[in-house]
Amino acid sequence: MKIGIIGTGNVGSALGKGWAGQGHEVVFGTRQPESEKVQTLLAEMGQGVTAVSIPSAIEQADIIVLATLWNAVSDVAHAVNNWQGKIVIDATNPIAPGFQLAVGHTTSAAEQLATFLPGASVVKAFNSTGAENMVDPRYNGEPTTMFICGDDADAKATVTELAEALGFDVADVGNLEAARFIEPLAMVWINLAFKQGLGRNIAFKLVRR
């Protein structure tokens, strides 16, 4: 399974490190594959990880993670013409200035993204926790929860496997429309971490009985 990660920032590099460590083939899609920043990142990750242009990464990979700021998503979506058969993991949060959600209630970033990607299966995931938790999702030895949603059961099963491989417990919240709930959940994490002063070492855990 070749994983294309678009964006080499906090989220992209955390997920890339995690999956490369599991033996997955990871290709970063970046605006500057030759930059010192990207070359340093590749050197940290070792073999099996490459960086190419954004269209090339999308074409090469079966699974694409969007790990850019939300306002870049439309450009990335239009970087190639054919998204047929791709699983696209949307890790973005549609954050407007002042830590406000830019979309919500009657739509979501993930649903808007899906309209740009005919033929792709969009799964919302990896948006509701901090990037550090993607490197190490366990607290006191217990997995924390990754909330996901999407319309394609097979795509969600694949994303579940990838999240579990990193150490998450996965909660499937429903079809893609449920991104309307998972995206605001990210704002709960952000508010707790930054406005309420809890810091970045926090994560959500769904408990069951």
Ligand X SMILES: NC(=O)c1ccc[n+]([C@@H]2O[C@H](COP(=O)([O-])OP(=O)(O)OC[C@H]3O[C@@H](n4cnc5c(N)ncnc54)[C@H](OP(=O)(O)O)[C@@H]3O)[C@@H](O)[C@H]2O)c1
Residue 108 is a binding residue for ligand X (CB under 6 A): no
Q: How far apart are CA 16 and CA 20, in angstroms?
A: 6
Closest residue to ligand X, Cβ-based? Answer: 9
DSSP annotation of 120 reads: -
The backbone torsions φ and ψ at residue 18, rounded to the nearest 5 degrees and listed phi first, read -60, -50
CA distance to 4, 29, 133, 205, per residue, from 18 (Å): 13, 17, 11, 20
Window of 9-17, 112-120, 166-174, 176-184 that interacts with ligand X by CB under 6 A: 9-17
- Residues between 189 and 208 that touch ligand X (CB under 6 A): none
Indicate the residue type of 25: E
From the list 25-33, 110-118, 142-150, 176-184, the region that binds ligand X by CB under 6 A is: 25-33
Please say whether the beta carbons of 150 and 176 come within 8 A.
yes
CB of 101 to ligand X, least distance (A): 11
Element (DSSP H or E) covering residue 88 = strand 87-90
CB of 208 to ligand X, least distance (A): 24
Strands 142-143 and 100-101, sheet pairing:
unpaired
- Pairing state of beta strands 2-6 and 25-29? parallel
| 67 touches ligand X by CB under 6 A | yes
Query: Are 11 and 134 within 8 A, CB to CB?
Result: yes
Residues in binding contact with ligand X, number by CB under 6 A: 24
Q: In terms of CB distance, is 8 or 121 closer to ligand X?
A: 8
Position among 1, 69, 102, 153 found at the interface with ligand X (CB under 6 A)? 69
Among 7, 16, 18, 137, binds ligand X (CB under 6 A): 7
Q: How far is the CB of 100 from ligand X (least distance, A)?
A: 12
112-141 mask for ligand X (x: CB under 6 A)?
A: ---------------x--xx----------
Which helix (H) or strand (E) segment holds residue 94: the answer is none
Should residue 12 be labelled a site residue for ligand X when binding is judged by CB under 6 A? Answer: yes
Q: Among candidates 70, 65, 141, which has minimal Cα distance to 109?
A: 70
**How far is residue 27's CA from residue 17's CA, in Å, rounded to a whole number?**
11
**Site mask for ligand X (CB under 6 A), range 162-191, x = bound:** ------------------------------
**Residue ranges that bind ligand X, judged by CB under 6 A:** 7-12, 30-32, 38, 67-70, 72, 75-76, 91-93, 95, 127, 130-131
